[in-house]
């Protein structure tokens, strides 16, 4: 049975009064009122990033059998409501933890780093005002991005005139391929940071902060490349 009874939860089952497990009573099996916990705690996992996804899936299936509303078709309103909340939390938690990027982003947020805020708000503002969004180009990409942007502008100009330049398309295609390789490589870089995190998770705050910042940096670079590839695809399609 994964996990300890979280803080804030009554330690005993509402139905039979014995010590409860996290989501349902270990004695009578009844579903328990949900308690707000983080997704790692929900599954009874430590807050580590190298995660056994096979074990996660097994746990997910097992908990689904116990918590899904289908099993409460004949139960009373209160239990039905708890099962709905518990199983939505289970699904949200599983969806987040099984994906390596979402898992990392979630951990950063848990650790108090608002990674999305900046880019998201900037994107919305750019959309609303029509201003160009300013993005910091990762230094190692400066040269490549500069050249690619020139090519893209050339391509757009040609398309307007209805011209076609196979050499230019090939050039852009090559650049795109190189970006995609870098994109994939970043996942491995991220995984190296995972290992550092998992080791420092119980260490001092300064070490933790260094690793968190490193992960944030990898994610930002990754997002940057993703947006760039999207721009390339759009330019080539239109």
Contacting residue, 19, 61, 177, 184, with another protein by CB under 8 A: 61
Which range touches another protein (CB under 8 A), out of 15-23, 62-70, 198-206, 219-227? 62-70
Nearest CA-CA partner of 101 in 43, 44, 51, 176: 51
234 binds another protein (CB under 8 A): no
Angle between helices 77-98 and 100-110 (to 10 degrees): 110
For residue 190, the minimal CB distance to another protein (Å) is 19
Residue nearer to another protein on the CB measure, 108 or 175 = 108
For residue 183, the minimal CB distance to another protein (Å) is 16
Residue nearer to another protein on the CB measure, 126 or 236 = 126
Residue nearer to another protein on the CB measure, 40 or 94 = 94
Which range touches another protein (CB under 8 A), out of 60-68, 143-151, 205-213, 226-234? 60-68
Enumerate the H helices of the chain as residue ranges.
39-43, 53-67, 77-98, 100-110, 115-129, 142-161, 166-200, 205-237
Q: Binding pattern to another protein, positions 114-153, x when CB under 8 A?
A: ----------xx-xxx------------------------
Q: How many CA atoms lie within 13 Å of 131's alpha carbon, on the beta-carbon side?
A: 10
For residue 95, the minimal CB distance to another protein (Å) is 6
Q: Is residue 217 helix, strand or coil?
A: helix
**Total residues interacting with another protein, rule: CB under 8 A:** 23
What Cα–Cα distance (Å) separates residue 171 from each residue in 122, 140, 165, 236?
31, 20, 10, 12
Contacting residue, 12, 15, 27, 64, with another protein by CB under 8 A: 64
Nearest CA-CA partner of 105 in 45, 49, 53: 49
Distance in angstroms (rounded) separating the CA atoms of residues 13 and 16: 6
Residue nearer to another protein on the CB measure, 30 or 68 = 68
Residues in 70-89 that interact with another protein by CB under 8 A: 70-71, 73-74, 84-85, 87-89
Enumerate the H helices of 23-76 as residue ranges.
39-43, 53-67
Angle at 136 between CA 131 and CA 137, to 5 degrees: 115
Interface ranges with another protein (CB under 8 A): 61, 64-65, 68-71, 73-74, 84-85, 87-89, 91-92, 94-95, 124-125, 127-129
């Amino acid at each position: 049975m994964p996990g300890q009874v979280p803080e804030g939860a009554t330690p005993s089952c509402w139905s039979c009064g014995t010590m409860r497990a996290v989501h349902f009573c270990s004695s009578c099996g009844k579903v328990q009122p949900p308690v707000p916990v983080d997704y790692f705690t929900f599954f009874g996992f430590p807050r580590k990033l190298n995660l056994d996804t096979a074990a996660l899936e097994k746990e997910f299936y097992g908990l689904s059998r116990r918590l899904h509303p289908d099993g409460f078709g004949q139960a009373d309103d209160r239990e039905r409501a708890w099962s709905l909340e518990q199983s939505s939390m289970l699904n949200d938690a599983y969806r987040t933890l099984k994906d390596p990027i979402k898992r990392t982003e979630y951990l950063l947020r848990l650790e108090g780093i608002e990674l999305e805020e900046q880019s998201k708000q900037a994107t919305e503002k750019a959309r609303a005002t029509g201003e160009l969004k300013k993005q910091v180009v990762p230094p190692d990409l400066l040269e490549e991005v500069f050249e690619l942007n020139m090519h893209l502008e050339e391509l757009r100009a040609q398309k307007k005139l209805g011209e076609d330049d196979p050499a230019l398309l090939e050039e852009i295609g090559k650049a795109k391929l190189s970006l995609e390789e870098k994109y994939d490589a970043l996942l491995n870089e991220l995984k190296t940071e995972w290992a550092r995190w998992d080791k420092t998770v119980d260490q001092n705050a300064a070490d933790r902060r260094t690793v968190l910042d490193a992960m944030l940096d990898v994610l930002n670079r990754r997002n940057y490349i993703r947006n760039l590839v999207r721009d390339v695809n759009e330019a080539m399609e239109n």
